[in-house]
Chain A
Amino acid sequence: MARIDVNHVRHSYLPNPRTDADFALREVHHTFEDGGAYALLGPSGCGKTTLLNIISGLLHPSHGQLLFNGRDVTNLSTQERNIAQVFQFPVIYDTMTVYDNLAFPLRNRGVPEADVDRKVRETLEMIDLASWAKKKARGLTADQKQKISLGRGLVRSDVNAILFDEPLTVIDPHMKWVLRSQLKQLHRRFGYTMVYVTHDQTEALTFADQVVVMYDGGIVQIGTPAELFERPRHTFVGYFIGSPGMNVMPVAIDGKTATLGSQRIELPGAPKADSGAIELGIRPEYVRLGRDGMAVSISKVEDVGRHKVVRAKLEGRDIAAVIGEDETVPAEPKVRFDPAGINIYADSWRVEMGA
């Protein structure tokens, strides 16, 4: 168990990186608190796996430093860092039995056989493969292999941290849910530092206390799920988190008023933005559809179960609004923006509002 400081880490896979574009990780500077459960969220290719591999020591960063509990481990091997990692693509030792696969990380570290047996049985129970213990791992299905891969990450309880790289992609939804709650339980019981990479925002939001959103080789925001939802620091976070994503539209600002085409929108305060491309962001959940406000033309209404998503055009731009299951769209629809949900962005980064 450890606090992990990632100090100004940059990484490039190229031998002689010159521009920023050559870096798979532009700069990551962040502390993973001891015992925290973090979800790492971001689009494909943004550097999530690279960051995990640097933490576990499979990759040596081009620049920067890594501290475990304040001790510099940048030059320590994976073994010495004592970290468990579950890979994006399941790795199993297919000449071994399921049991031996799980015992492998323990036996390699010279754990007494009695402890090995206890830990392995416990883990087998957890991943629901107890009856498969004596089977060769070779003949298993893809999701069973992924469970074994996951199990090998969980079998050691003395690790500094466990890193999960999309560990549940091929597991069916129900089992996914079960395993996720077991991971949470384990986390409470042993208090490891956990970092969990995923593409899936619901998975991230349910698993983690803190969600780290990565974009294009850097961290754009770290926060609780609520913070990410209410106050996205970057328009990317607004798009990426939430379904549908945040509405972002270019506006002109004058004091406490924003102008969108011919419409004027009252803001909760005066944004401290004087330069750059100014945009207004509002989540569909804060767009009120009714009989007064700005006129829109409806293009589509999607019923997604608990609520409806209304797609419309406002001043020629696409906008989404969320309305309740029982609400109906008025004949001459208009929208208002709830001031509580308005964020202003300058060059894609959020700016604070003054009084």
Chain B
Amino acid sequence: MEKTWNNKAWFLVLPVLVLVAFSAVIPLMTVVNYSVQDTFGNNVFFWAGTEWFEELLSSSRFWEAMVRNLIFSFIILSIQVPLGIFIALNMPKKGWGVPVCLVLMALPLLIPWNVVGTIWQVFGRNDIGLLGYYVNALGIDYNYVQDPFDAWVTIIIMDVWHWTSLVVLLCYAGLVSIPDAFYQAAKIDGASRWAVFRYIQLPKMQRVLLIAVLLRFMDSFMIYTEPFVVTGGGPGNSTTFLSIDLVKTALGQFDLGPAAAMSLVYFLIILLLSWVFYTVMTNYDAER
């Protein structure tokens, strides 16, 4: 069939373009604009070129935050993905247990970020928090306000509690789409539990897992509210992630130029890493 060219189509996508322009492109361009200028207030700007970028990339504070982010994302993914798969595999597939489990799983996802932070901030306190008090009562010295390790453990448990459900729900959706005939065939073929997982369930979950990993990676890499509420980035700088640092720079010190440069770099990193994840996982898919 011959392709017909019709310029009216442009007209139809115009509203979307305008919307995207206002919501994404224009703010992004202002950030780009700020990132190459300097200001001392009063709306007076000076051309600064790549100065902010150079300063940023050579600052150890930036790289330390970046490493913290990467470690955090890595830990989060390596806990939430296997745990999510495990829970999804063990959820009931029919009967009254299904809605119950689904609602339980969806609950943490419905709670606003800052509330999650507050819940855990209180939960972990060793004077009035249930968790903090009893952990200390068991003789374990736990104090997320002073001990960086405890602060990390708290934030990680909090994130696992908050977001594992997302992985569970996505995997579960993949699992219930597998027709019964596959399990029957596996029984006839004498497949072990592991073989059923490896050759039937995992392949069916692969697509949703890709989405889960991408979402969880981007989200954990951009994490801001919860650690900010719980630890405020401390003790010291031990839980200061890029986003927290960014807000400190932009709003705390009102250094618009460096903050803009930082946002751009941050944005590019997320874009780059997401692209890497996506390519690796889809290539792996095509290869097999």
Q: Which residues of A contact B (CB under 8 A)?
A: 53, 56-58, 77-79, 83-85, 87-89, 91, 93-96, 104-105, 108-109, 136, 149, 152-153
Roughly how many angstroms separate A93 CA and B192 CA in the complex, as a whole number? 14
Q: Is the CB–CB distance between A105 and B179 below 8 Å?
A: no
Q: Which residues does chain A contribute within 8 Å of B189, judged by CB atoms?
A: 104-105, 108, 152
A-B contact count (CB 8 A): 52
The reply to whether B195 and A83 contact each other, CB–CB distance below 8 Å, is: no
B283 CB → nearest A CB, Å? 15
B19 CB → nearest A CB, Å: 38
| B interface with A by C-beta (< 8 Å) | 179, 181-182, 184-185, 187-192, 195, 199-200, 203, 288
10 pairs of residues in contact across A and B, judged by CB atoms under 8 Å: A78-B187, A78-B188, A79-B190, A89-B181, A93-B199, A93-B203, A95-B288, A96-B199, A104-B199, A108-B192
A89 lies within 8 A of B179 (CB): yes
**B180 CB to closest chain A CB, in angstroms?**
9
CB distance from B76 to the nearest CB of A (A): 27
Complex Cα–Cα for A285 and B198 (A): 57
- Find out whether the CB atom of B195 lies under 8 angstroms from the CB atom of A108: yes
Query: A229 to B195, alpha carbons, bound, how many Å?
Result: 47
Q: Are B288 and A91 in contact (CB under 8 A)?
A: no
**How distant is B271 from chain A, measured CB to nearest CB, in Å?**
30
CB distance from A64 to the nearest CB of B (A): 21
A319 CB → nearest B CB, Å = 43
Nearest CB of chain A from residue B193's CB, rounded to whole Å: 12
A313–chain B nearest beta-carbon distance, Å: 47
Given contacts A108-B191, A149-B185, 20 further A-B contacts (CB under 8 A): A58-B187, A58-B188, A77-B187, A79-B190, A83-B188, A85-B184, A87-B185, A91-B182, A91-B184, A93-B200, A95-B203, A96-B199, A104-B189, A104-B191, A104-B199, A105-B189, A108-B190, A108-B192, A136-B288, A153-B188
Once the chains bind, are A105 and B184 in contact (CB under 8 Å)? no
Interchain CA distance A274-B187 in the complex, whole Å: 52
Using Cβ atoms and an 8 Å threshold, which residues of chain A touch B185? Answer: 85, 87, 91, 149, 152
Closest B residue to A53 using CB positions: B184
Q: CA separation between A84 and B185, bound complex, in Å?
A: 9
From B288, which residue of chain A is reached at the shortest CB distance? A95
What's the Cα separation between A83 and B187 when bound, in Å?
10
CB distance from A38 to the nearest CB of B (A): 19
Q: Nearest chain A CB to B177's CB is how many angstroms away?
A: 14
Known: A78-B187, A79-B187. A87 touches B181 (CB 8 A): yes
User: 3 nearest interchain CB pairs?
Assistant: A91-B185, A108-B190, A105-B189
B residues within 8 A CB of A95?
199, 203, 288
Shortest A96–chain B CB gap in Å is 7
CB pair A87 B190 closer than 8 Å: no
**A77–B195 alpha-carbon span in the complex (Å):** 17
Contacts of B192 in A (CB 8 A): 108
Say whether A105 contacts B181, CB under 8 Å. no
Distance from B2 Cβ to chain A, minimum over Cβ atoms (Å): 29
A110, closest chain B residue (CB): B190
With a cutoff of 8 Å between Cβ atoms, the chain B residues found around residue A56 in the complex are 188
Residues of B within 8 A of A79 (CB): 187, 190
Chain A residues with CB below 8 A from B188, complex form: 56, 58, 78, 83-85, 105, 153
A323 to B185, CA, bound (A): 47
Q: How far is the CB of A41 from chain B (nearest CB, A)?
A: 22
Which residue of chain B has its CB nearest to the CB of A87?
Answer: B181
B184 and A87 contacting across the interface, CB-CB below 8 Å: yes
Q: What is the CA–CA distance of A78 and B191 in the complex, to the nearest angstrom? A: 11
Shortest A99–chain B CB gap in Å is 14
Among B188, B191, B195, B288, residue most surrounded by chain A Cβ atoms (within 10 Å): B188
- Cβ of B196 to closest chain A Cβ, rounded Å: 10
Closest-CB distance, B18 to chain A (whole angstroms) = 42
User: Which residues of the other chain, A, contact B195 by a CB distance below 8 angstroms?
Assistant: 104, 108
State in angstroms the CA–CA spacing of A184 and B268 once bound together. 65
Residues of A within 8 A of B187 (CB): 57-58, 77-79
Bound form: Cα–Cα A108–B181 in Å: 18
Q: Which residues of A contact B184 (CB under 8 A)?
A: 53, 58, 85, 87, 91
Select the residue from B185, B189, B203 with max chain A CB neighbours within 10 A: B189
CB-CB < 8 A to A89: which residues of B? 179, 181
Which residue in chain B gives the minimum CB-CB distance to A109?
B190
Tell me the bound Cα distance from A53 to B181 in angstroms.
11
Distance between Cα atoms of A91 and B182 in the complex (Å): 6
**From A78, A79, A85, A93, residue with most partner B Cβ within 10 Å:** A93
How far in angstroms is the closest Cβ of chain A from B174? 14
**Closest-CB distance, A339 to chain B (whole angstroms):** 50
Contacts of A109 in B (CB 8 A): 190
Chain A residues with Cβ below 8 Å from B181 are 87-89, 91
* Chain B residues with CB under 8 A of A93: 199-200, 203
What is the CA–CA distance of A121 and B149 in the complex, to the nearest angstrom? Answer: 59
Q: A153 to B288, alpha carbons, bound, how many Å?
A: 24
